[in-house]
A and B are shown apart, each in its own frame.
Chain A
Amino acid sequence: MSQTIQVPSICEFMNRHLVDVFETMLSMKSVPASSENLPQFEDKVTGSVAFAGDRINGAVYLHLGTAFAGQVAGAMLGLPAEELGEPEVNDVVGEVTNMLTGGLKSWLCDSGAECAVSTPAIIRGSSFMIEPVPDVDREWLVFDCCENRIAVEIHVKVS
């Protein structure tokens, strides 16, 4: 099956998929919110996974506030957040980003856009922005979850 991949369809898929990943793995209910006002994190943990194929290239970035990233890690591992160190939190955020991008990869492959994914990487900090390279679309998705906000940044170039 080969069809034209539309960026809005990618966003629709990711809106559904993030809710599913957070519900299934973390028992956390998340709801898509407006992306007009992007969350401003004082400190954040960002997971990234790239995808690349003949017809499509890009990356998914999952941004979580540092304290909420600890809560997410605690929920995933069934441990109190205060017992977890940076390595554990980083690994969980990387794994959640991997699940998000792995689901997107499967959806893209089933839509005729075969691609491969990278292993996850983590960035921590307070004042960084990720600039897309020229000709790449950047989409933002925002979610409300347990009185916190989640931001997903998708960079995508469809050939």
Chain B
Amino acid sequence: MATKILSVDDSRTIRLIVGKAFRPYDATVIEASNGEEGLAVAAREKPDLIILDVTMPVMDGVTMLTKLKEDPALKAIPVIMLTAESGRENVLQIARLGVRDYLVKPFKEDQLIEKAGRCVTLEKRPAAAPAA
């Protein structure tokens, strides 16, 4: 069964880049554009991994992470923070909440795959057969 990855980011650009990064793998990327939507999608879809932005409207990533970790049904889902903010205090605050890893924008797609691969199984999709 394909690995299910939830990308929570208010930037459609970042959600598209995350989707593109996982395209070569047997993975399904689902999306949410803020923390509130992210919690609802996580509860419904039970993803294997969440890739979460910090600064978002409606509900930010830190609040979503806090609520996720308070929910017995969702707290075991590994979370990678993907954010433009890397200040020491910021990272420490988020680390205390139980984040699995932290990736700072700007980032390369292979850095994201490497970090995701430490949290979930990522298998390459078989190459498409050439047209007859």
Contacts and interface: CB of A to CB of B under 8 A. Distances in A.
Interface of A: 20-21, 24-25, 73, 76-78, 87-88, 91-92, 94-95, 98-99, 101-103, 105-110, 114, 117, 119
A109 B89 contact: yes
Contacts, number: 69
B14 interface: yes
B83 to A, nearest CB: 7
6 contacts: A20-B106, A24-B107, A98-B55, A99-B105, A105-B84, A109-B87
The main secondary structure of chain A at its interface with chain B is helix
A24 B88 CA distance: 22
Contact of A117 (B12, B16, B85, B105): B85
B11 A106 contact: no
Contacts of A73: 13
Contact of A92 (B10, B13, B87, B106): B13
Contact of B87 (A21, A99, A105): A105
B13 A117 contact: no
A105 B11 contact: no
Given A109-B87, A109-B90, A110-B88, A76 B55 contact: no
Nearest to A1: B88
